[in-house]
């Protein structure tokens, strides 16, 4: 697990749609591009599926546009595909065709929607499918204001998957560290990796239903503390040079990173790179000691070194730290120390317990924090559960820029505000230095500085505070942004009042009601 374990998504940034090759291939819903609608035309009208469309599970309808030939794909096959993706109003969201970059899908790793679209297709076949947005990503995220995605997929190649292994270990398998293993090829060296080592390995994994949920084909080294528990344990049971099948009982697969239940992996370890030994588990990891102090919201803490005088970080400042985190059963889930790299992040982009707790520290302090679950991950799937314990050493504080002032008219648009046809109110705050600039189109990529508030004056996001402009396609954001920013020219600064129906539409966890944004347009691509 990496620093991402403590980062939380910004409210606005979460509406936007580098690692190893197979990760890139697996991230089917994460390609960013700004294809023009005139570049890629849908083979059929996109507004609704035709009457003769085939219905499949997941509330998906599809129609074959071009027949293929050969054997249909099965659930664990790998497929090289060209696809394009539209909204039901015909706006193109992304296209591998425009990028001239076909995408490889390992079907067993894909969200349900992609599996149901692609399974059963033949080489050369093209399908047009209507699928709920939630089915296209494993986190079940929706796109504000859009229920359905329209996808055209053309199959270029199909690579059949190997037979699935059973999750029941065979007679004669060897017990090791609570797992069972069968060696396929003997190793070249004695000894196994530790949980904090980096390992070069390849492999596959199957669940109890025979789904191949994991594939790693590259030999890039991976830090084992950053892997799901089941995979980390499996790799630790295979020696250097060895190929083996490893069976994982469900009790060793409890972190919700992989499918529930028993699992089986087939792995080959090419090299083990010794890592930094992690800090020892605190003796008081289970509960805060009697002499621990407590913040206003309930974060317990204790200084592990002499408390230093000096400035303390504010809630939006950026800090540089070394840290290690444990669950209360003593299991380490993350550590910058074992990675050999200090972490740097703004305090308003991490879990609440970090935001509050680190404000008691000065540079040079080392503090242990006990963060209750309601200030940590609140039971989110795939995240460490319960109270979390962190040892943190603070090395640097970078003060945040002064936050933009809350607009005096944040509660409602003023009388002199203009309004787009869709209902976004706006007012130009600063004109461009040169006249005659062009407006961005609905699929252009723009670079902006912005700040956003709810109508009670609470700022929920700001690129200004982060000190870095944002770049995104106007077809990748909330409707109010797509509509409103088309009124702007480069150099202009405008305030927008975006009704809820053109913002997040009441989506849980997103800013609610009408939203107000100050936006400065810096560039158009």
For residues 329 and 230, give the distance between their C-alpha atoms in angstroms, rounded to a whole number. Answer: 17
Instruction: Calculate Rg over the CA atoms of the chain.
Output: 26
Report residue 364 as tokens: 């040079």
Contact 1, 388 (CB under 8 A): no
C-beta neighbour count of 186 within 10 angstroms: 10
DSSP string, 262-325: -EEEEEEEEEEE--PPPPPPPTTTTS--TT-EE-TTS-EEEESSPPPPS----TT-EEEEEEEE
Catalytic residue among 60, 117, 248, 478: 478
For residues 191 and 196, give the distance between their C-alpha atoms in angstroms, rounded to a whole number. Answer: 14
**Residue 196 annotated to the active site:** no
**Residue 496 annotated to the active site:** no
Catalytic residue among 272, 517, 518, 524: 517
Catalytic residue among 196, 258, 450, 472: 450
**Residue 31 annotated to the active site:** no
Catalytic residue among 77, 317, 322, 461: 461
For residues 181 and 61, give the distance between their C-alpha atoms in angstroms, rounded to a whole number. Answer: 43
CA dihedral 313, 317, 322, 323 (to 10 degrees): 80
- For 509, counting Cβ atoms within 10 Å of its Cβ (0-12 exposed, 13-18 middle, 19+ buried), the class is exposed
For residues 129 and 127, give the distance between their C-alpha atoms in angstroms, rounded to a whole number. Answer: 6
How many residues are there in the chain? 525
Report residue 82 as tokens: 């060209």
Report residue 339 as tokens: 């990675």
**376-410 core/surface letters (b: 16 or more CB in 10 A; e: else):** bbeeeeebbbebbbbbbbbeebeebeeeeeebeeb
For residues 399 and 346, give the distance between their C-alpha atoms in angstroms, rounded to a whole number. Answer: 9
**Residue 365 annotated to the active site:** no
Catalytic residue among 213, 303, 395, 460: 460
For residues 155 and 126, give the distance between their C-alpha atoms in angstroms, rounded to a whole number. Answer: 7
**Residue 83 annotated to the active site:** no
**Residue 333 annotated to the active site:** no
Give the distance from CA 132 to its chain's centroid.
19
Active site residues: 450, 460-461, 478, 504, 517
């Amino acid at each position: 697990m990496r620093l991402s374990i403590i980062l939380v998504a910004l409210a606005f940034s979460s509406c936007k749609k580098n690692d190893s090759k197979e990760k890139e291939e697996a991230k089917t819903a994460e390609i960013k591009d700004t294809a023009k609608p005139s570049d890629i035309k849908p083979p059929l009208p996109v507004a609704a599926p035709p009457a003769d469309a085939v219905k499949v599970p997941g509330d998906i309808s599809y129609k074959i546009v071009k027949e293929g030939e050969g054997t249909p794909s099965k659930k664990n096959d790998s497929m090289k595909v060209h696809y394009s993706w539209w909204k039901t109003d015909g706006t193109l969201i992304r296209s591998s065709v425009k990028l001239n970059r076909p995408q490889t899908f390992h079907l067993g790793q894909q969200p349900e929607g992609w599996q149901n679209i692609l399974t059963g297709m033949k080489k050369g076949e093209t399908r047009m499918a209507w699928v709920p947005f939630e089915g296209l990503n494993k986190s079940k995220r929706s796109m504000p204001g859009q229920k359905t995605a329209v996808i055209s997929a053309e199959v270029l190649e199909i690579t059949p998957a190997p037979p699935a292994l059973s999750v029941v270990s065979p007679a004669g398998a060897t017990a090791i560290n609570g797992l069972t293993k069968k060696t396929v090829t003997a190793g070249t060296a004695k000894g196994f990796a530790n949980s904090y080592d980096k390992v070069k390995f390849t492999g596959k994994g199957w669940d109890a239903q025979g789904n191949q949920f994991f594939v790693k084909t590259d030999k890039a080294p991976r830090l084992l503390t950053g892997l799901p528990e089941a995979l980390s344990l499996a790799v630790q049971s295979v020696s250097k040079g060895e190929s083996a099948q490893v069976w994982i009982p469900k009790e060793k697969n409890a972190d919700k990173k992989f499918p529930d239940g028993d699992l089986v992996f087939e792995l080959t370890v090419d090299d083990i790179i010794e890592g930094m030994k992690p800090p020892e588990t605190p003796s008081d990891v289970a509960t805060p000691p009697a002499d621990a102090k407590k913040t206003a919201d309930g974060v317990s803490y204790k200084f592990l070194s002499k408390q230093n005088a000096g400035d303390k970080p504010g809630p939006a400042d950026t800090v540089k730290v070394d840290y290690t985190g444990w669950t209360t059963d003593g299991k380490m889930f993350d550590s910058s120390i074992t990675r050999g790299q200090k972490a740097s992040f703004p305090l308003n982009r991490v879990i609440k317990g970090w935001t509050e707790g680190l404000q008691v520290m000065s540079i040079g302090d080392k503090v242990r924090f006990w963060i209750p679950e309601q200030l940590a991950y609140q039971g989110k799937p795939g995240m460490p559960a319960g109270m979390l314990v962190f040892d943190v050493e603070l090395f640097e504080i970078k003060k945040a820029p002064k936050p933009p002032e809350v607009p005096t008219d944040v509660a409602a648009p003023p009388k002199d505000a203009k309004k787009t046809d869709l209902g976004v109110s706006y007012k130009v705050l600063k004109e461009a230095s040169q006249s005659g600039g062009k407006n961005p189109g609905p699929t252009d990529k723009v670079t902006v500085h912005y700040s956003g508030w709810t109508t009670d004056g609470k700022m929920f996001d700001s690129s200004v505070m982060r000190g870095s402009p944002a770049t995104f396609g106007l077809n990748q954001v909330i409707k109010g942004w797509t509509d409103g920013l088309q009124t702007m020219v480069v150099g202009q600064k405008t305030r927008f009042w975006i009704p809820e129906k053109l913002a997040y539409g009441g989506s849980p966890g997103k800013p609610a009601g009408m939203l107000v944004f100050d936006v400065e347009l810096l560039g158009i691509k």
